[in-house]
Amino acid sequence: MDESIMAARGILSNPALFSGHKTTPVECVKRWLNICQQADTDITYQCMHHHFSFMTESLLTKRLRLQLNNLSKEKQNVFGFIRTHLPLDSVNDAVMQDYPEKICCSYNDQIYRQRAAGNGAKDNGTIVNGCTYDPEASDGNFFRSKRAELDEPQASDDVAENVDGVAFMDGGNLLFDE
């Protein structure tokens, strides 16, 4: 179970992890931006923002990550921030054309609840009597812990940043392997 959680967190931070990339490629961020814009209302703000927040961890300075995490809850603000602070124009748009068409699925809540009740779901007020989960009610524990890390005071903004024990200088908001 612990390995699954670690792999999930690793993929959240770097969706291209198993493609051999040590950090999230800018192309991956641009793909997520395109997916979010295409899906529009089908993706919650929390889901969209958390993915951007974690996948840009190695691409943005601590100061910029803090700004991203404190944007108002409007998708367009996040999209604009990503476009402003990452070199998305450097991504070859021809590579980005392989998206499948958006899949539309119908969902019948009544059928789901009948099936859930028939499969032994307990009447704990969440499945049978209606879902009380609201994804926008909380930022999520893991995200809040990451935000708390960013909120910790730094010694000085004038020196090279130290992120996760690695010191680097702001080289256009990108951390390059040398």
Give, for all 178 residues of the chain, the pLDDT tens digit.
Answer: 567 677 788 888 888 888 888 999 999 999 999 889 888 778 889 999 999 999 999 999 999 999 999 998 899 999 999 999 999 988 887 666 655 666 677 777 788 788 877 776 555 444 445 556 666 777 777 777 777 787 777 655 444 555 554 444 444 444 444 4
Q: Which two tokens stand for residue 17?
A: 């992890």
Residue 8 φ then ψ, to 5°: -65, -45
- Structure tokens given for 13: 């931070």
Single-letter residue type at 170: D
pTM for the whole structure: 0.59
H or E element in which residue 163 lies:
strand 161-163
Is the separation of the CB atoms in 38 and 30 below 8 Å?
no
- d(CA 98, CA 63) in angstroms, rounded, equals 34
Say how far apart CA 174 and CA 171 lie, in whole Å.
Answer: 6
Q: Are 91 and 82 in contact (CB under 8 A)?
A: no
Q: Which phi and psi angles does 97 have, rounded to 5°? A: -90, 0
Domain boundaries, the chain: 9-85
Give the Cβ contact number of residue 46 at 10 Å.
Answer: 17
